[in-house]
C-alpha cells in the first residue's frame, strides 16, 4: 500500500476533526430526510399521493444535499494536501525518498478521495430509507453513488492540481472554491439566458455550459430534468473526467518540476 | 564519492553557482562554509536531486545526479536547512513511514527502524508523539530518518541551527559515528567551531565559486604561519605596534589587553617574536602560539577583521 495513503488516513482518523465531520455530515443528511419526509407527509394529508412519491422525494433531496456537502468538502481535503507539505516543509523529504512524483500525487489523491468515499458510503443507511419507502430501486442508488464518486474524483483532481501549483493552502483552496462557484454560477446564468432554446430536443452548443455543472449532471442521472438531451449526463461526466485527467497530469508535472 | 566539477546554476539573472567544484571520498566529513547567499543550499539541493544544475559534472557514488536521480536518492540522505516533521505522528511511526518511502519492507523495515531508534537514543520515546519532543530530540529524529536507508552520502544543511550546546555535542558524536562507517558527510553550517571540531576538510564557497580551501586540523609546529594569542598588562597599543614592527608579523585582532598576531615562519619565528616583545618592554602574561582557527581563516577569506 502506498505509504502516503496510510499516513493520511491514519492522521485524518486520529484527529477529532475526522469524527466530528463524519457526525455532522450524517446529522445534516438525517435532518434533510426528516424535513422532506415531514413535508411529503403533510402534502399527503392534503390529498397528494404518498408512498413511491415520498420515497423518490427523499432520495432526490438526499442525493442532491449530499452532493452539495461533498462538493463543499472536496477542496478542503484535496486543495490543501500538497500545500500543507510545502507549508510544513515536509515535501522535500518526500521528493528525496524513493517515492516517484506519481506515487506522491496518487497517495494524496487517493487519501482525499477515500475520506470523501467514507462520508459517501456512510450515508448508505440513510438512503436506504428512500428504498424502503418505495419508488427507488437499488440500481438508482448505485447510479447516484457512482456519479457522485466520479464528480468528486474530478473535483479532487482539480484541487490537487492547484495544491501542486501554489505554495499556500489558502490560495489553492480559495481558487478551487472559486472555480467551482464560477462554473456553477456561470452555467446557471447561461441556463437562465438560454432557457427557451434548452427546450430544443437533442444536442445544442447552447447546452455546453451545463456540461460543467455537477447539479445538471446529477439531475439528469436522477431523471429530474434532462434539458432536452437524454445523453447530457454522459457528456457531462466525460467532460469532468477529461478535466480530472488533465488536472492530474498537470499536477504530476508540477511535482516533477519541484523535484528537479 | 562526491564529485562536483564546474557546476553552474542560475535563478533568472542571479547566479547561485558559478563553476564551483568539490571532491570528497569515503570517510570524509566535509564542511561547506560561506556567507549567506554563497550557494551552499543550492549545491546541497542539487546533490539531493531537488534542483537540476544548468551545467557541470555532478556525481554521487559514481552516479550522475541529473540522469540517475532515483539511484542517487537511494545513496543519499538529505537533511534540509529547515526540515519539516509530521508533528501528529508517533516517533516509531514517523520512521516507519519513511522506511516505507525508501521501499524497506518486512524485517528490513523493522530492523532499520529499530537501528535508527537505537542510534539516535530515541528508543524510550518511540511511542511518543513527535510534537512532544524537544528541539534536540526532533533533530535527532530527523537525522535518524535521514540515515534510515543506510545511505553512503549524507547531505546536511545547517543541521545544528537552534540546538543547545548539549544537543550539538550529541549531534557531533553521531556525525563521528557515521564518519567511522566510511560514509561521506557534506555539512553546511555557520557554527564554525562545530565544523572545526569534526570536519576532515573544509571547503569555502563564495558567490558560487571556490575561493579557498583549508585543512583545519594541521599541526601548529608544521604550518608556515602561526597565530599567537597574547595578553599584556602594559599598554596594548604599544604592544601591537612592537609586534607589527617584527618582520613577517601582523596583528589580526585586538580586544583590550588581548591581541592575536600572525607570524610567518613557524615556531622559530614565534620564539623570536616573544624575545622581541620582551626586549621591547612589553609585559606579557600569556603568549600562546597555535594554528589559525577556521573563524580567522573565514575572516581572512571573506573580510570582517575585528581589530
Interface predicted TM-score of the whole assembly (ipTM), two decimals: 0.84
| Range with the largest mean pLDDT of A227-231, B136-140, B294-298 | B136-140
Residue of chain A nearest B151, judged by CA positions: A97
Residue where the block lists cell 600562546: B288
CA-based angle B155:B159:B163, to the nearest 5?
165
Task: Tell me if B89 and A89 make a contact (CB, 8 A cut-off).
Answer: no
Total number of residues shown for chain A: 260
Range with the poorest average pLDDT among A208-217, B218-227, B290-299: B218-227
Q: Hey, is A123 helix, strand or coil?
A: coil
Q: What is the mean pLDDT of residues A136-161?
A: 93
Residue A81 has phi, psi (to 5 degrees) of -75, -35
Q: What is the CA radius of gyration of chain B?
A: 23
Please list every residue in chain B whose beta carbon sits closer than 8 Å to the beta carbon of residue A7: 86, 89, 97
Residue B223 pLDDT more than 70? Answer: no
- Residue % of chain B over a pLDDT of 70: 94
Residue A48 pLDDT more than 70? Answer: no
Cα separation, A252 vs A258, in Å, equals 10
Range with the poorest average pLDDT among A124-138, A139-153, B215-229: B215-229
**Cβ(B158)–Cβ(B45) below 8 Å:** no
Q: What is the mean pLDDT of residues A48-52?
A: 68
- Residue % of chain B over a pLDDT of 90: 43
- Residue % of chain A over a pLDDT of 70: 92
Tens digit of each residue's pLDDT (9 = 90 or more) over B50-90: 999 999 999 999 999 989 999 999 999 999 988 889 999 99
- Across chain B, where does the E strand assignment appear? 2-11, 14-24, 29-33, 55-60, 63-64, 76-79, 153-157, 184-188, 201-204, 213-214, 225-232, 249-255, 258-264, 284-290
Cα separation, B192 vs B30, in Å, equals 12
Residue of chain A nearest B51, judged by CA positions: A260
Count chain A–chain B contacts defined by CB atoms under 8 A.
Answer: 69
**What is the value of pTM for the model shown?**
0.82
Q: Could you tell me the pLDDT band of residue B167, with boundaries at 50, 70 and 90?
A: confident
What's the pLDDT at A195?
A: 66
Strand order in the sheet with B258-264: B249-255, B258-264, B225-232, B284-290
The residues, ordered by sequence, that sit 6+ positions from A235 with a Cβ below 8 Å of its Cβ are A203, A211, A229
Residue A32 pLDDT more than 60? Answer: yes
Tens digit of each residue's pLDDT (9 = 90 or more) over B97-123: 999 999 999 999 999 999 999 988 899
The residues, ordered by sequence, that sit 6+ positions from A132 with a Cβ below 8 Å of its Cβ are A55
Decide if A51 touches B, using CB distance below 8 A: no
Please list every residue in chain B whose beta carbon sits closer than 8 Å to the beta carbon of residue A18: none
Tens digit of each residue's pLDDT (9 = 90 or more) over A51-90: 778 888 889 999 999 999 999 999 999 999 999 999 999 9
Residue A260 pLDDT more than 60? Answer: no
CA-based angle A8:A14:A20, to the nearest 5?
105
Compute CA distances A104 → A3, A94, A150, B66, whole Å: 9, 8, 21, 20
How far does chain A reach from its first CA to its final CA, in angstroms?
26
- Residue % of chain A over a pLDDT of 90: 53
Query: To the nearest whole number, what is the mean pLDDT of chain B?
Result: 87
Residue where the block lists cell 553512503: B152
Task: Tell me if A96 and B49 make a contact (CB, 8 A cut-off).
Answer: yes
- List b or e across B46-60, with b for residues whose CB sees 16 or more CB atoms inside 10 angstroms: bbbbbbebeebebbb
Q: What is the mean pLDDT of residues A202-206?
A: 70
What's the pLDDT at B305?
A: 43
The residues, ordered by sequence, that sit 6+ positions from B201 with a Cβ below 8 Å of its Cβ are B24, B28, B29, B30, B31, B213, B215
Tens digit of each residue's pLDDT (9 = 90 or more) over B9-51: 999 889 999 999 999 988 899 999 888 888 999 999 999 999 9
Amino acid at each position: 500500500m502506498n505509504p502516503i495513503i496510510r499516513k493520511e488516513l491514519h492522521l485524518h482518523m486520529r484527529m477529532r476533526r475526522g469524527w466530528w465531520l463524519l457526525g455532522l455530515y450524517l446529522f445534516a443528511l438525517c435532518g434533510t430526510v426528516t424535513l422532506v419526509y415531514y413535508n411529503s407527509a403533510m402534502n399527503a394529508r392534503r390529498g397528494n399521493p404518498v408512498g413511491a412519491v415520498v420515497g423518490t422525494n427523499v432520495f432526490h433531496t438526499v442525493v442532491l444535499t449530499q452532493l452539495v456537502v461533498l462538493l463543499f468538502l472536496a477542496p478542503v481535503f484535496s486543495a490543501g494536501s500538497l500545500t500543507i507539505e510545502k507549508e510544513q516543509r515536509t515535501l522535500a523529504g518526500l521528493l528525496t525518498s524513493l517515492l516517484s512524483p506519481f506515487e506522491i500525487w496518487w497517495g494524496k489523491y487517493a487519501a482525499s478521495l477515500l475520506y470523501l468515499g467514507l462520508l459517501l458510503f456512510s450515508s448508505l443507511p440513510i438512503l436506504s430509507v428512500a428504498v424502503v419507502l418505495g419508488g427507488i430501486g437499488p440500481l438508482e442508488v448505485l447510479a447516484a453513488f457512482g456519479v457522485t464518486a466520479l464528480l468528486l474524483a474530478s473535483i479532487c483532481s482539480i484541487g490537487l492540481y492547484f495544491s501542486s501549483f501554489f505554495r499556500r493552502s489558502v490560495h489553492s483552496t480559495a481558487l478551487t472554491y472559486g472555480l467551482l462557484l464560477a462554473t456553477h454560477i456561470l452555467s446557471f446564468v447561461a441556463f437562465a439566458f438560454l432557457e427557451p432554446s434548452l427546450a430544443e430536443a437533442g444536442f445544442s452548443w447552447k447546452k455546453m455550459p451545463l456540461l460543467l455543472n455537477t447539479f445538471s449532471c446529477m439531475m439528469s442521472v436522477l431523471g429530474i430534468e434532462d434539458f432536452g438531451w437524454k445523453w447530457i449526463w454522459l457528456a457531462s461526466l466525460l467532460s469532468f473526467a477529461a478535466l480530472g485527467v488533465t488536472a492530474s497530469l498537470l499536477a504530476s508535472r508540477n511535482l516533477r518540476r519541484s523535484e528537479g | 564519492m562526491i564529485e562536483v566539477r564546474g557546476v553552474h546554476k542560475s535563478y533568472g539573472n542571479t547566479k547561485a553557482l558559478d563553476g564551483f567544484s568539490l571532491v570528497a571520498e569515503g570517510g570524509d566529513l566535509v564542511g561547506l562554509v560561506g556567507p549567506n547567499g554563497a550557494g551552499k543550499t543550492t549545491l546541497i539541493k542539487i546533490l539531493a536531486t531537488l534542483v537540476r544544475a544548468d551545467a557541470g559534472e555532478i556525481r554521487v557514488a559514481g552516479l550522475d545526479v541529473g540522469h540517475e536521480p532515483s539511484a542517487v536518492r537511494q545513496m543519499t540522505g538529505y537533511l534540509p536547512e529547515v526540515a519539516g516533521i509530521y508533528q501528529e505522528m508517533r516517533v516509531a511511526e514517523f520512521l516507519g513511514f519513511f522506511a516505507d518511502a525508501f521501499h524497506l519492507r518486512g524485517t528490513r523495515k523493522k530492523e532499520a527502524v529499530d537501528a535508527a531508534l537505537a542510534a539516535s537514543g530515541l528508543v524510550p520515546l518511540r511511542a511518543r508523539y513527535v510534537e512532544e519532543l524537544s528541539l534536540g530530540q526532533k533533530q535527532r529524529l530527523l537525522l535518524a530518518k535521514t540515515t534510515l536507508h543506510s545511505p553512503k552520502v549524507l547531505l546536511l544543511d545547517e543541521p545544528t541551527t537552534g540546538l543547545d550546546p548539549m544537543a550539538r555535542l550529541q549531534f557531533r558524536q553521531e556525525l563521528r559515528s557515521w564518519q567511522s562507517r566510511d560514509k561521506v558527510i557534506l555539512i553546511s553550517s555557520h557554527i564554525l567551531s562545530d565544523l572545526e571540531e569534526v570536519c576532515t576538510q573544509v571547503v569555502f564557497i563564495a558567490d558560487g565559486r571556490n575561493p579557498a580551501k583549508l585543512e583545519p586540523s594541521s599541526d601548529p609546529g608544521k604550518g608556515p604561519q602561526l597565530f599567537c594569542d597574547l595578553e599584556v598588562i602594559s599598554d596594548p597599543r604599544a604592544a601591537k605596534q612592537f609586534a607589527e614592527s617584527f618582520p613577517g608579523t601582523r596583528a589580526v585582532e585586538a580586544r583590550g589587553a588581548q591581541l592575536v598576531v600572525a607570524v610567518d615562519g613557524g615556531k622559530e619565528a614565534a620564539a623570536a617574536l616573544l624575545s622581541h616583545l620582551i626586549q621591547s618592554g612589553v609585559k606579557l602574561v600569556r603568549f600562546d602560539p597555535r594554528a589559525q582557527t577556521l573563524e580567522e581563516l573565514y575572516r581572512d577569506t571573506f573580510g570582517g577583521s575585528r581589530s
